[in-house]
Structure formats: structure tokens, C-alpha cells
């Protein structure tokens, strides 16, 4: 009976050790997957913001080309002066737009880097806690995912606001350029 009890106790100890190791490994894998997903989402958000900024610059170049065409069609004494003024204003706008796009890109890069750093820090903390509290791993993973999702939503909102500001400034410039209010 004692030998049977010893065997049962050994089997129980082996099962507990195996379960703890499996839980910790599964938790580490899940956390790593979440961190990679957050990193990919931040990268996608940055790429999208960069694409929107590029489209805005392309539109500004196209408008500048249109302004040049219209001015050439109406060249005369007064049209030359108007054309010169329009060219100067368009150049100023292009410079302003370029600065805003650069600022927007820098902000998006900073936000993405900050989000990535936060995700790394949160990942390191979650990994350590997973080792100490294997039974609470599921709850901690859920909290980590919620924090990262909120930060990604904040980044997306900031990028959207910055794009909207640039768009409004572009509209304001063209309104001034063509005399619309």
C-alpha cells in the first residue's frame, strides 16, 4: 500500500510540474502573439497615416499644376500680375503643406514608437507576472490586451485629428487662393 501511495504521489507531482510548465509556456506564447499583433497594428496605422499624407501632397501638386494652366490661359497685363501672386501663394501653401505633412509624419512616428515601447514594457511585466502567478495568467493577458487596444485607439484618433487639421488648412488655403469664403 505504501509503495502504491508513493507511486500515486510521484505521479501527482509529475502532473503538477508538467501543468505549471505548460501553463507558463502557453501564457508566454499568448503574450508574445498579442505584442506582435500590437506591433503590426501600430505599423499598419503608421503606414495608413503616411499614405494619407502622401495623397495630400499629391493633391497639392495637382492643384498647383491646375493653377498654372488657368493662369496661362488668361495671360494679359493684369493676368500676369494675378498669375505671379497665385504662384507665390501656391508656393507658400506647398511649403506650409510640406511642413504640416512632415509634422504629421513625425507625430505619427513618435506615437508608433511610444506605443511600441509601451507594448514592450507591458509585455515584460506581463511575462514576469505570468511566471509568478500562472493561475492568474488568463486575467492578466486580458488586461494587457485592453491597455494595448486603448493605446492603439488613441493613436488612431490622434492620426485622424492631425489629418483632419491638415485637410481643413488645405481647404482654407484654396478658399483664399480662389477668393471663396
Compute the distance between CA of residue 91 and CA of residue 123 in angstroms, rounded to an integer. Answer: 47
Per-residue pLDDT reduced to its tens digit, 140-177: 777 777 887 888 899 889 989 999 998 888 888 888 88
Q: Which three cell numbers stand for residue 123?
A: 509585455
Compute the distance between CA of residue 38 and CA of residue 28 in angstroms, rounded to an integer. Answer: 15
Per the CB < 8 A criterion, the answer to whether 42 and 115 are in contact is: yes
What is the model's pTM? 0.29
Compute the distance between CA of residue 2 and CA of residue 122 in angstroms, rounded to an integer. Answer: 49
Domain spans in the chain, listed from the N-terminal domain onward: 28-178
Amino acid at each position: 500500500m505504501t509503495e502504491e501511495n508513493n507511486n500515486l504521489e510521484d505521479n501527482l507531482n509529475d502532473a503538477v510540474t508538467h501543468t505549471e510548465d505548460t501553463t507558463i509556456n502557453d501564457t508566454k506564447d499568448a503574450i508574445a502573439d498579442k505584442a506582435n499583433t500590437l506591433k503590426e497594428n501600430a505599423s499598419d496605422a503608421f503606414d495608413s497615416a503616411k499614405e494619407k499624407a502622401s495623397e495630400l501632397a499629391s493633391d497639392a501638386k495637382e492643384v498647383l499644376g491646375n493653377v498654372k494652366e488657368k493662369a496661362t490661359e488668361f495671360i494679359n497685363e493684369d493676368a500676369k500680375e494675378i498669375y505671379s501672386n497665385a504662384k507665390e501663394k501656391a508656393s507658400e501653401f506647398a511649403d506650409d503643406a510640406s511642413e504640416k505633412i512632415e509634422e504629421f509624419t513625425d507625430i505619427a512616428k513618435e506615437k508608433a514608437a511610444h506605443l511600441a515601447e509601451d507594448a514592450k514594457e507591458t509585455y515584460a511585466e506581463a511575462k514576469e507576472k505570468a511566471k509568478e502567478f500562472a493561475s492568474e495568467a488568463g486575467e492578466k493577458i486580458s488586461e494587457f490586451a485592453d491597455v494595448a487596444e486603448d493605446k492603439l485607439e488613441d493613436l488612431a484618433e490622434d492620426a485622424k485629428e492631425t489629418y483632419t487639421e491638415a485637410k481643413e488648412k488645405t481647404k482654407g488655403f484654396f478658399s483664399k487662393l480662389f477668393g471663396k469664403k
